[in-house]
Each structure stands twice: as C-alpha cells, then as structure tokens.
Structure 1
Amino acid sequence: MTLPRIVVIGMGGTIGMVRGGDGALRPAASVGELLDQVPAAARYAELTLVPLASLDSTNLAPSHWTALIDVVAQVQERCDGVLVLHGTDTMAYTATALSLALPRGGHLPIVFTGSQLPLKSDHTDAARNLIGALLTLRLAIRRQIAEVMIVFGDRVLRGNRAIKTSEIHFPAFDSPAFPLLGEVTAAGIRLTGLHTERTLTAPFVPDTRFDGAILTVDMTPGLPPEVLRAVLHSRHCHGIILRSLGTGNVPNVGPLSLVPVIQEATDAGIPVLVTTKFVGGSTRMGLYEPGRDALDAGALPTGDLTDVAAQVKLMAALGRGIDARDFLLTDIAGELTVTEDMEDESHDVL
C-alpha cells in the first residue's frame, strides 16, 4: 500500500524538546532528531521534514504565522497532508490564523499536535499524540477533508474553535462552543461528520497579513475609563477587545461608564470588540441596556467566537485593511455560528 505523503513542520514547543547528555531539556536540533525517537511514525506515512522554528510557543508571533502559511501554500502540490508540531500555549492561535488565511474547502488536511511532556519523559503523551495526529491525517486524506485541526489526547478539534484548558492534564484542549470533529480511540479515529470537505483544488495565494497591535482588557468593577483612553491616545493600539461581564455588558452609568471611550475609539477608526468571559458562551449585547449602549456607541459583538478566534480575526482584519464589522460577522472557516441575533444587532447600529 502506498503511504500518504505528509510534510511535518516543526515549530518547537515541549514536544520538540530532547534530553542532552547532561540530562537537561533542550530544543531538538531538527524535526528529524525528534521523529527518530518515534520510529513507528514512519510506518504511517512518507514523511518530509521542514524545521521552521524551535521556540517556546509563547515567543511565536504573527511573523511566524506568516512563515508557516507560506510553507503550507508552497507544499500543497507535493504532499497529501501537513502535520505541524507546536507548543501548546499558542497552538490555537496559530491554527486559527492558518484557517483564516486558506481558502475554505480549498486546502489539504492540516493537523496540529504537541505534548504536555517531552518525548523522553516518563509517562509522556508526546508519542501517542504524534501517532494519533498521523492516523487522523491518513483518514482525512482518504476522505478529502479540508480542515485545520488540533489532535491532542483523545480529541480531534477544529483548530479555530479550540482553546487550551489545562497546563497539566493530558486532554489539554477543548472546544466548548462547537462539537468535536472526532475522537482517537482504541478502535481507530472516529469522525463526527462535522468536517469541511475539499471542494476546490485550484492553486491559491493566501493572505498572510496580521496586525498584532491590539489589546484585550478584562472588564473589572471600577475600571477607570482613563486607562483605556491612555491606550487610545498612545496611537500604538489599533484595536481593542473588551472581555465583558455577562452576555456583552459594559459599564454605562456615571464616571465609570466606558460607553464614551467606545464612541471615541469608533470615531477614531479603532474597532472595539466585545466578548464574554463565559467559556463556550456567546455575546447577546442587545439583551440588556449596558450591552445595547455599547452597541449604539459602535462596539462589535463577537457571538460564540473563542477569545483566541476573536483576537486573531481582529488582527487579520486590521492587517488586511478591511472592515472589521463585516469580517467579524462572517463565518470564514467554521469559527463562528452566525445567528439572527448577531445580524440584528449589527444592522441596528449601522
């Protein structure tokens, strides 16, 4: 049986650590050195190794997303699928950025994986995650699936719906607002049928522009509006995300009202997004007066976007120089559930 051709792109992280002669953990010299420790991987695919970065994922930035997107676009014609080895802290960010840059239904299956422990640690999850990722890719290749996925523990998740939920548990990722795409079981990979199938095969040029000059602020009781004003007046911030209290509520009474600041930002062309702090929740800003006043001032609802997806979508809109409202309220790659409530809220403030 002919093995599928899979390009393995190394971007660092815990899974990319090996023990040196002194017993200390260090980044592997290459993806090849890493895969040499899991010889079984070669039984599942013909692997081509591309070392792109060797960093703790905390240090990965939009410039690294751009480099990854460019590599993925370049290898589309000479492989059947792509596996990205990545640190867990920002894996969901990179997966989301990649999904927004590629044409929906027009790319090869792509899987991200990593680990909570290095390959050579006792009771590591690295080898299991790596094999699970390869098995998922094999099935996705056979079924012509066009998804950017995260395979971690026993879960197969849509990358732009995933969030990291634990720094210690082996099932480190969850998809609280969208069902799993599948599971890794003792009987093999079981998909739920919610994936996107590949319908386009034409070459494409991805859009790799992202603007990282955004700020996310947790709404806390008593937050002075002057704090946000100082950020606006610095001229270094191009977009703001307010993680709201409740379903999208923002203080709107007295000297602590943030509504005037939202209006100032909107008038200055700086988009203000409102998310909810509830994991798996969705904004419904028209439900209560504090949310409605923020909407009227120009704030943008984010529906059931994860915090990660809201941030990356805003960075993409700013980088591309396009209208943030239209981009945010459009489901680009399965990251958003578009509802009538969201559309009504948007139309009310246009």
Structure 2
Amino acid sequence: MAQRKILIIFTGGTIASVKSENGLIPGLNAPQILEFIPEIPADIEIETLQLCNLDSTDVYYKHWLMISEAIERYYEGFDGFVICHGTDTLAYTAAALSYLIQNSPKPIVLTGSQKPIGMEITDAKKNLMDSILYAADPDSNNVNVVFYGKVIAGTRAKKNKSFSFDAFASINYPSIASVQNNGKIIRFIKEPVTGGVKFYHSLNPKVFVLKLTPGITSDILETLFRQYDCIIIESFGVGGIPINLIDDLGRLKDKYAENEKIIIMATQVTYEGSDIATYEVGQRIQNRFRYLQTYDMTLEAAFTKIMWILGNFSGSFHDFHHIFKENINHDILNS
C-alpha cells in the first residue's frame, strides 16, 4: 500500500485521562498518547491536532462544528482522519459529523476507550490502532465509529455498556466492517462514494428531547414550545402517547406556523424502531397535528439530523419532512 497520511484529532475523553484527586480527568496531550502505540506501520504517516481536552460530557454542538471545520481545513492534505473522543457523547458527535460532512470519499473515524491509555489493562491502544488502520485503508470512507474491533456507521452507533470494552452497538443496521486482531479488515458492507464531499457549517441547537413517563402531565409543554424549535418526544413502545397530552400538544402546535415548531415522534425502545400507526394510542395524534417520525433511526441521529436541517434549510413542513426521510450515511431505512 502506498504511503497514507492520517490526521489524528484529539478532543480529550477517557483515552487521554489521568488520575486526579477528583477522579479521572483528561490530561494527556497528543504526543503523550502516541507514545503508547509505537507500532504504527511505516507506510502510515501520522500528524496530530489537539483541538481541545475535554470530558465528552462537556462536548456539545459548538465542538461538533469545530471538529468539522478542522477536517474541512485539512481535508485535501490527508487520506483519512481519526478523532479521539470521550465515549459518553461519542455517538452524538459521530451522528452530527455524518450530517456536517456528507459523501466523503475519505474516512472520518471516531474512537475512544473505556480505560485510559496509560493503564496496564486498557482498550485504548487497540481502539486507536484499529482506527488508524481503518482510516488508512483506501476502501474506507464516510463517518464511522471504530470500537472494540467493530466499524459502525456514524449514525447507527450507541453506547450501551458503561464499563465493558464492547461498549458500542450498531442499532438497527449491520456493522460496516470489523478490524481483526492481526489488523486485517473484514468488510460486510461495501459502498463506494461517488461525487465530491459536502461540508455544512450550521446547526440549530434549539432541540429538546422529552422522555415520556407514566402519569406525565402537560405543564412543561408551553415552556418547551416557547424555547425550542423542535421537540422530540420519546414515546412508549412503537409510538404510544398518553391521551392527556394530546389536546395541549395540538393547541400549542396550532399557535405557531406549521414549519415553525417541529414535533418528532420517537421511541424509548432501542431496537426495531417506531410505528405510530400500530396502536390506537399512537393514531390519536395522526389527525390532530403533523409530525415527523424516527422509524428505525437512533435518537442521536434524529437529534442531530433535525439540528442540521433547521440550521441549513428553510421551507415548508413538507420540505423538512422530505429531507428528514432522506437516507444519509445509513441513518434511516424504514420510512
């Protein structure tokens, strides 16, 4: 393989953490982290960029834009990109980058670890090396998460374990590939990218996720409608919504123009998605107001996709509906 040039962007997270009197905190910089993986193949050239050094709890949409802008700035000079990131919000960042950087023939890989790279027993070295190898492979493209040997589409990753090394699952979609212990890449889905990469530069952060609980009242709805442009409702099952919320949701939706306040119906269930029309408790809203539905999307993908849509497009509800249903980096299949 010809020489491949990879840019590793460091943002902090457990992989860069050290012990402090208040618990683990990101403290290692890029050169210190790379000292732990001296076995990088000679045909891979590494450069680094220390963008920030944060626990991913403190990473939000401004950092997603910062990462995307850095990749755009250095895009022509590298064959692939690896982003070292904390695991707790890594799935949100991966999804956001899937919308901010679309149709990329060059791979953009996110990874992290459950244990700091300086610990004797850690998953950090494997995850970082796997990510470098995947980013250096000429057949890799688009935004993906590489973790514990699995390659997951950036819109399909979800952290589903707190401590175990196999912390991420690919939700409602197969893994793209796997990276074996010998560094060999086994591809399950091959999808060449045609055309040029497209970068976007705006996100609308005024999106709120409302998780329904038994007996929830509608008292908070007026405040949410006033402060946010979109409310994602995590409903029960495939799409159940309590009857006591329907009238107030409809009344508040009627106060605004149809494209001014967006409601998205999602499910609290991790696998298999939503289908509002299945039960009467879902059909209650079908004739009361218009909404978007996540179907088999992850919450992280739905959350960041609507931020991207509202930040970059204007138009009617029909226009938003059409864009939301578009398949971007494998984010939605059943719509």
Common topology (TM > 0.5): yes
Is 1:315 paired with 2:307? Answer: yes
Q: Which amino acid aligns with 2:294?
A: T
Letter of the aligned partner of 2:144 in structure 1? M
Which residue in the other structure is 1:33 paired with?
32
Amino acid at match of 2:252: E
Letter matched to residue 117 of structure 2:
L
**CA gap 1:308/1:25 in 2 versus in 1, 3 angstroms:** closer
Structure 1: 5+ residue stretches without partners:
343-350
* Cα deviations by residue, 1:90-130 (Å, 9 ceiling, x for unpaired): 111111111112232x4411111100010111211111111
What is the match of residue 80 of structure 1? Answer: 79
* Structure 1 residue identity aligned to 2:91: A
Mapped partners of 1:61, 1:23: distance in 2: 23
Counterpart residue identity of residue 303, structure 2: Q
Give the 3 Å change call, closer, same or farther, for CA 132–29 of structure 1 in structure 2. Answer: closer
Deviation track 1:209-251 (CA, whole Å, cap 9, x = no partner) reads: 112222111111211112222322xx22111011111111212
Q: Cα distance, 1:44 vs. partner?
A: 5.7
Q: Distance in 1 between matches of 2:83 and 2:150?
A: 16
1:265-313 deviation digits (Å, cap 9, x = unpaired):
3652211111111112211112222212223321211110101111111
Distance between the aligned counterparts of 1:266 and 1:42, measured in 2?
61
Equivalent residue pairs, number: 327
1:299-330 deviations in Å (ceiling 9; x for gaps): 21111010111111111122224343222211
Q: Does 1:222 align with 2:212?
A: no
For 2:149, the equivalent position in structure 1 comes to: 154
Look up the match of 1:12.
12
8 Å Cα contact 1:19/1:120 also seen in 2: no
Query: Does the Cα contact within 8 Å between 1:243 and 1:274 map onto a contact in 2?
Result: yes
* Structure 1 counterpart of 2:245: 257
Counterpart check, 1:3 vs 2:15: no
- CA–CA separation in structure 2 for the residues paired with 1:326 and 1:130: 37
Counterpart-to-counterpart distance in 2, 1:260 and 1:188: 56
The answer as to whether partners of 1:210 and 1:319 remain within 8 angstroms in 2 is yes
Instruction: State the alpha-carbon separation in 2 of the partners of residues 265 and 247 from structure 1.
Output: 22
> Which residue does 1:237 correspond to in 2?
228
1:306 aligned to which of 289, 298, 311: 298
Structure 2 CA distance for aligned equivalents of residues 285 and 23 of structure 1: 45
- The structure with the largest helix share of the pair is 1
Q: Among all aligned residue pairs of Structure 1 and Structure 2, give the percentage whose two residues are the same amino acid.
A: 28
- RMSD, aligned CA: 2.2
Residue in 1 that maps onto 2:279: 288
Q: For the Cα contact (< 8 Å) 2:14–2:24, is it kept in 1?
A: no
Distance in 2, matches of 1:249 and 1:26, equals 41
TM-score between both structures, scaled by the size of structure 1: 0.87
Q: Which amino acid aligns with 2:10?
A: G
**Distance in 1 between residues matched to 2:286 and 2:161, nearest whole Å:** 33
Give the superposition deviation at 1:70.
Answer: 0.9
Structure 2 CA distance for aligned equivalents of residues 97 and 273 of structure 1: 17
User: Structure 2 stretches of 5 or more lacking a match?
Assistant: none
Instruction: Assess, with a 3 A threshold, how the Cα gap between structure 1 residues 94 and 273 changes in structure 2: closer, same or farther.
Output: same
1:28 touches 1:34 (CA, 8 Å); kept in 2?
no
Give 2:322's aligned residue: 326
Equivalent residues of 1:266, 1:272 under 8 A apart: no
TM-score by length of 2: 0.90
CA distance in 1, matches of 2:114, 2:69: 28
Q: Is the 8 A contact 1:181 1:194 kept in 2?
A: yes
Equivalent residues of 2:221, 2:248 under 8 A apart: no
